[in-house]
Amino acid sequence: MTRNTSEHGEERIVPMRLQKFLARAGVASRRGSENLMTAGRVRVNGEVRCEMGAKVDPLTDVVTVDGRVVRLSEQPCYLVLNKPAGYITTMSDPYGRPCVASLVPTERYPGLFAVGRLDYDTTGILLFTTDGDMGQALLHPSHHVDKHYVAMVEGTPTAEELAQLREGVELGDGPCAPAEAVVLDADDAQCAAVVHGGMPRGTSVVGITLHEGRKHQVKRMLAVVGHKVLRLHRDSFGPLELRGCAEGSWRMLDDDEVRILEGIKGDTLA
């Protein structure tokens, strides 16, 4: 936080821009904090403050978001959701479609946002945070974290088709980076999250690890080698796993997981 020293040698926090204060307090990213302000959801000493030049003194001013007092001592929020099918990865939708925002504690953490996205019909792990720098670091092109998916597909990819995926296939928006891909054996396939009540005849389960994050990438890559994706589930995002988190529920990250993410953020922003 910003500090200054008085003429008597006492150190104190100097006033800072309100959106910077909110971001530092872990309420939202800087941009997300500005959106909260313009929506009239932020008050300083009881008065709505929506102008971008507004400043606060963290030692004397009382800042609230949706009526909840916010302090710099608070830590950013980090949680993972086991996303069900049938939800879009946005925090609101003008058409009234089900959004992931309804599944996570947005009232307690008003600046919560999803890091990346999952398709409407894709299930699995989705990271949420109020730490804007963390979100940018994890999605930065120079530091895409690995993401592992399991996909139920029509047919069974051959060794040659798997080799194509491992070498990197060509999509309409350019070549893909090489991806780790393997057909799961019968026991592992039956345990995969995409299998509900048995494997339909003529299908198989493929495990695939991506190092980038393009729209519909897994579905498009498997389509290139001739296998339509019937169901898709993401079971890990970088170092994070669901760890028993039931579909539609969420859990907070533990201290070890947060420290690992902080290391990734530090490497990316260095």
For the CA atoms of 225, 228, 234, 235, what is the dihedral angle to 10 degrees?
-80
Q: Please, which residues have CB within 8 angstroms of residue 256's CB and are 6 or more apart in sequence?
A: none
CB 33 within 8 A of CB 23: yes
- Concerning whether 255 is annotated as a catalytic residue, the answer is no
- 259 vs 152: CA distance, rounded Å: 34
Given 61, 66, 119, 146, the catalytic residue:
119
Tell me how far the alpha carbon of residue 97 is from its chain's centroid. Answer: 20
Length of the chain counted residue by residue: 270
CB 251 within 8 A of CB 80: yes
Q: Considering only CA atoms, which of 119, 88, 144 is closest in space to residue 217?
A: 119
Bridging pattern class, strands 123-129 and 229-237: parallel
Angle among Cα 263, 269, 270 to the nearest 5 degrees reads 85
| Strands of the sheet with 42-44, listed across from one edge | 47-48, 42-44, 63-65, 68-70
- 57 vs 62: CA distance, rounded Å: 9
End-to-end alpha carbon distance in the chain: 18
Structure tokens at 27: 């309420």
Q: Considering only CA atoms, which of 248, 250, 216, 231 is closest in space to residue 87?
A: 248
CB 56 within 8 A of CB 105: no
Active-site amino acid positions: 119
